[in-house]
Amino acid sequence: EAQVTQNPRYLITVTGKKLTVTCSQNMNHEYMSWYRQDPGLGLRQIYYSMNVEVTDKGDVPEGYKVSRKEKRNFPLILESPSPNQTSLYFCASGTGTAPNQPQHFGDGTRLSIL
């Protein structure tokens, strides 16, 4: 089954404790992206990747890092999480090297930073 898998689905942690949210897709997609969803603000793009070893900033990249060492994986790293990063995070993937195609989304990771 074609899917985007995120882990963990839920995480409560404390300020400053480094964390990684993993994202994996089994569709051989070149394009992958991370979004955060906040009430009243909709979805905002954090980082995206057009292909292996190619990453670029989205609209709200501050406080986040990503890497794309393999095609299927695109982890999101919070080196020193802060309460304003409490949010619902989504990973997505798509065909082609540009987001002009439909994207497949994971089921989300709800992060709470205390």
Partner 1 sequence: SQQGEEDPQALSIQEGENATMNCSYKTSINNLQWYRQNSGRGLVHLILIRSNEREKHSGRLRVTLDTSKKSSSLLITASRAADTASYFCATTGANSKLTFGKGITLSVRP
Binding site for partner 1 (CB under 8 A): 4, 33, 35, 40-45, 48, 58-59, 90, 92, 98-108
Q: Answer yes or no: are the C-beta atoms of 34 and 64 closer than 8 Å.
A: yes
Smallest separation, CB 114 to partner 1 (Å): 22
For residue 7, give the nearest of 25, 26, 24, 29 by alpha carbon: 24
Of 4 and 76, nearer to partner 1 (C-beta) is 4
C-alpha distances out from residue 62 to 46, 92, 97, 98, Å: 8, 19, 24, 22
Smallest separation, CB 16 to partner 1 (Å): 29
Of 63 and 99, nearer to partner 1 (C-beta) is 99
Smallest separation, CB 65 to partner 1 (Å): 19
> Cα(96)–Cα(77) distance, rounded to whole angstroms?
25
